[in-house]
Amino acid sequence: TLGALLRSGGRADGALIVTSRASFEMVQKAAALGFGILGAVSAPTAAAVRLAERLGVTLVGFLRNDDCAVYCHAQRLQGLEA
């Protein structure tokens, strides 16, 4: 779990995908754990977008089928394949 990873002092690599809305707190946790990308199936909150921009986290919303919306730091996704 994310909590166990955080308590162990471990660092993640890659993307964190959630089935909920990306909140301010979720961006905080993703950044603290070292995830460079946070993806969510719903829209992020406005506070989450501002924080992700400030912390350098690529924030993606509306992850569905072959579509999504990238809210900040899209350059991290260039060259990636599905």
59 beta partners: 38, 72
The count of structural domains within the chain is: 1
Integer Cα distance of 78 and 80 in angstroms: 6
Residue 34 in domain? yes
**Per-residue confidence band for 78, with pLDDT thresholds at 50, 70 and 90:** confident
- Domain of 42 in residue numbering reads as 2-65
**Which CATH number fits the domain that encloses residue 10?**
3.40.140.10
72 beta partners: 59
Counted residue by residue, the chain has a size of 82
Claim: this prediction has a pTM higher than 0.95: no
pLDDT of residue 29: 92
- Closest CA relative to residue 56, chosen from 79, 78, 75: 75
Residue 62 pLDDT exceeds 90: yes
Integer Cα distance of 29 and 26 in angstroms: 5
